[in-house]
Amino acid sequence: MNQNNSSQFKPRKKIRFSLNKQDTSQEIFKLIKRLYLQTYRRPSGLIISIIQPLLWLVLFGALFQYAPIYLFEKTNMKYRDFLNPGIIIFTSFNSSINAGLPIIFDREFGFINRILSSPIKNKNSLVYSCILHTLNITLVQILIITLITSNNINNNYSINVIKVILCTSIITIITTSISNISICNAFILPGHIEFIALNSLLINLPTLFASTALAPMSFMPYWLQVICCINPLTYAIEITRYNMIDKILTLNTYIIKTSWLTVNIKQGIVILLLMNVINFLLVRRIIKYKYD
């Protein structure tokens, strides 16, 4: 056989499928339905994720309830009011950091191979479904926590539609970004033991304490302030905190003021969006490398 004729039998390096938006949406819907079914059959994880932030709120609120009122950023608030925004963002972070657990369990039990061998056209549906499922669960958790703690909220807080939209947008950005990191770890790490150890020991608590969730930046030493400013969780917490406290809020309101760094709300949102885009592109590259 001629070499020119045999070249057409060489396998292609990349196989491209014709993707349809309707097919992708159906795939995402079916995968989300599967995740909801898992949550329905194992509701203990959802219940624990609601109780844990309430324990933080009760314990830390009781521990520092006699702190001076004007101690926190020269604002008339109690420590529990100062802690509420940090607990809200920490709830979002804690839920999204475990978004990759269904994927890593599917890898261990072999279900991921069944999903990939099924007539699924867009492998990114795995990522989209996990993110949307985590986002919906997180919003439900935060709504329940807000309703439970609503009796303790200061009456000086002004709630309007714009502030609710801003708070929901920040929660969505944080949940999406951290879920991408969690999904990335789920595809890289060998098993759920390494996944849980990495999230619990090296990511969860250090990220919480290296932010302004539990204490203002003025309480921290210089080296911890630097780490706190690198932590994107700080910007989400401060935007949510100023959103709940200030009656008149603009995009030029400064949320971080140090001798070497000043950041307003607009810059904080840009930082969070940039982190979200980077994490999303990173996960797409990893899935393409491992499964294409």
The pLDDT tens digits for 46-58 are 787 778 777 877 7
pLDDT at 182 exceeding the cut of 70: yes
pLDDT at 64 exceeding the cut of 50: yes
SS3 112: helix
Of residues 150 and 108, more confidently modeled: 108
Containing H/E element for 255? strand 254-257
Give 4's pLDDT tier (boundaries 50, 70, 90). Answer: low
Of residues 5 and 134, more confidently modeled: 134
pLDDT at 7 exceeding the cut of 80: no
pLDDT at 10: 53
Instruction: State how far the Cα of 102 lies from the Cα of 114, in Å rounded to an integer.
Output: 14
Give 20's pLDDT tier (boundaries 50, 70, 90). Answer: low
pLDDT at 17: 45
Alpha-carbon distance values, 56 to 49, 89, 140, 197, 245 (Å): 11, 13, 18, 21, 21
CA atoms within 13 A on the CB side of 59: 8
Picking from 159-163, 178-182, 234-238, which range would have the lowest pLDDT averaged per residue?
159-163
Tell me the CA end-to-end span of the chain in Å, nearest whole number: 31
For the stretch 183-215, pLDDT in tens is 888 888 887 888 888 877 778 888 888 888 888
Of residues 176 and 81, more confidently modeled: 176
223, 240 contact by CB (below 8 A): no
pLDDT at 192: 80
For CA atoms 197, 198, 202, 206, give the dihedral sign.
Answer: negative
Name which of 130, 44, 50 is nearest 88 in CA terms.
50
For the stretch 224-273, pLDDT in tens is 888 888 888 888 988 888 887 766 677 777 888 877 788 888 888 888 99
pLDDT at 1 exceeding the cut of 50: no
pLDDT at 72: 52
Of residues 164 and 5, more confidently modeled: 164
Instruction: State how far the Cα of 185 lies from the Cα of 287, in Å rounded to an integer.
Output: 11
pLDDT at 71: 52
pLDDT at 178 exceeding the cut of 60: yes
Summarize the confidence of residues 133-160 as an average pLDDT: 72
Summarize the confidence of residues 263-289 as an average pLDDT: 83
